[in-house]
């Protein structure tokens, strides 16, 4: 896809997120919206190698959604990529749906890992990356982390492990929107200089605007080309990006838009001019 096409797809993804959460009556819009551009670039920018016709293709790359509560953004991407019909999105969180509140690998085509309990995704990604190295395979592993999630100690154990094993087939992405469940990360547990931390832990660090499609796709390509160290993309994002009354507001971490709010949000998302 061209940059313009990626931007249009990101609007579809954002519209899906809000509509499915509205229909479900529950979900996590804020972090799903902040990650929408990252996920669009990853799946539609010719970065991750997957095949919707063969979801268990052995040579596919792997994606781990460590912050599993933002499942709506992943579900929309998988549906629009062709892993299952987009009409399934409106069954989010319904009894018997293939799209539960947190990703369940046994239910959803295109998922490589169940997730929901924060702090575990990078450890799982390390295991996959080590296995691919030992098997001399070229598969890559991508892991999306939340910034609030980085307050958990297991993440930093995994950061050290990845550097120790020189997992240059691993790319972590931090959705750095600075807002978590009930406040800002700076207020709750300040992460300090995140780029310096990862650098000191032995990672290749790329800082970028997580809403600039050209920057995102370029960063993914730089990560793939870099050898000898794992790479982390620290993507500066806005919680609730694209919806004026949701942006940077922790109340939209896990709240549901009512009908009028949904209409306004969809107007704002789809009425924006192409960049």
pLDDT in tens, 213-261: 999 999 999 999 999 999 999 999 999 999 999 999 999 899 999 999 9
CATH number where 177 lies: 3.40.50.970
Q: Which domain holds residue 147?
A: 3-270
Tens digit of each residue's pLDDT (9 = 90 or more) over 162-209: 999 999 999 999 999 999 989 999 999 999 999 999 999 999 999 999
Domain-embedded: residue 275: no
Q: Is the pLDDT of residue 274 over 80?
A: no
Closest by CA to 210, choosing from 31, 47, 64, 2, is: 31
Domain-embedded: residue 101: yes
Strand-pairing partners, residue 233, are: 173, 206
- Which is more confident, 181 or 211? 211
Determine the pLDDT at residue 271. Answer: 86
The rounded mean pLDDT for the chain is: 96
Domain-embedded: residue 234: yes
Domain-embedded: residue 185: yes
Task: Indicate the pairing of strand 179-180 with strand 183-184.
Answer: antiparallel
Domain-embedded: residue 8: yes
Determine the pLDDT at residue 275. Answer: 39
Average pLDDT over residues 56-85: 97
Domain-embedded: residue 215: yes
Tens digit of each residue's pLDDT (9 = 90 or more) over 127-137: 999 999 999 99
| pTM of the shown model | 0.96
Quickly count: other Cβ atoms within 10 Å of residue 204's Cβ. Answer: 19
Which residues, including other chains, have CB under 8 Å from residue 18's CB and lie 6 or more apart?
29, 33, 243, 257, 262, 265, 266, 269
Phi–psi pair at 33, nearest 5 degrees: -70, -35
Domain-embedded: residue 103: yes
Closest by CA to 119, choosing from 149, 159, 156, is: 149
Residues 223/233, Cβ–Cβ less than 8 Å: yes
Q: What is Dmax (Cα atoms) for the chain?
A: 54
Give alpha helix (H) positions in the chain: 3-24, 29-34, 36-44, 71-81, 121-134, 153-164, 185-189, 194-200, 213-225, 259-270
DSSP 200-219: HTT-EEEEEETT-HHHHHHH
Domain count within the chain: 1
The number of C-alpha atoms within 13 Å of 82 and in the hemisphere containing its C-beta is 7
């Amino acid at each position: 896809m061209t940059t313009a096409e990626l931007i249009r797809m990101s609007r579809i993804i954002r519209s899906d997120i809000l509509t499915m959460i509205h229909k479900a009556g529950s979900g996590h819009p804020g972090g799903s919206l902040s990650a929408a551009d990252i996920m669009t670039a990853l799946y539609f920018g010719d970065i991750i190698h997957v095949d919707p016709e063969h979801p268990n293709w052995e040579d596919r790359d792997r994606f781990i959604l460590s912050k599993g509560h933002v499942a709506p953004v992943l579900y929309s991407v998988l549906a629009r990529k062709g892993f299952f019909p987009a009409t399934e999105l409106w069954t989010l969180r319904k009894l018997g749906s293939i799209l539960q509140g947190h990703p369940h690998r046994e239910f959803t085509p295109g998922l490589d890992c169940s997730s929901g309990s924060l702090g575990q995704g990078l450890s799982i990604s390390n295991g996959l990356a080590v296995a691919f190295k030992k098997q001399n395979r070229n598969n890559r592993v991508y892991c999306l982390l939340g910034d609030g999630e980085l307050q958990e100690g297991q993440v930093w154990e995994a950061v050290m492990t990845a550097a120790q094993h020189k997992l240059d087939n691993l790319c972590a992405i931090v959705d750095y929107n600075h807002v978590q469940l009930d406040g800002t990360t700076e207020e709750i547990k300040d992460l300090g200089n995140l780029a310096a931390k990862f650098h000191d832990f032995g990672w290749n660090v790329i800082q970028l605007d997580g809403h600039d499609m050209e920057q995102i796709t370029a960063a993914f390509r730089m990560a793939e080309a870099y050898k000898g160290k794992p790479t982390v993309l620290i993507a500066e994002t806005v919680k609730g990006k694209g919806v004026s009354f949701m942006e940077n507001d922790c109340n939209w971490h896990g709240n549901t838009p009512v009908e009028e709010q949904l209409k306004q949000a969809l107007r704002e998302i789809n009425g924006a001019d192409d960049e």
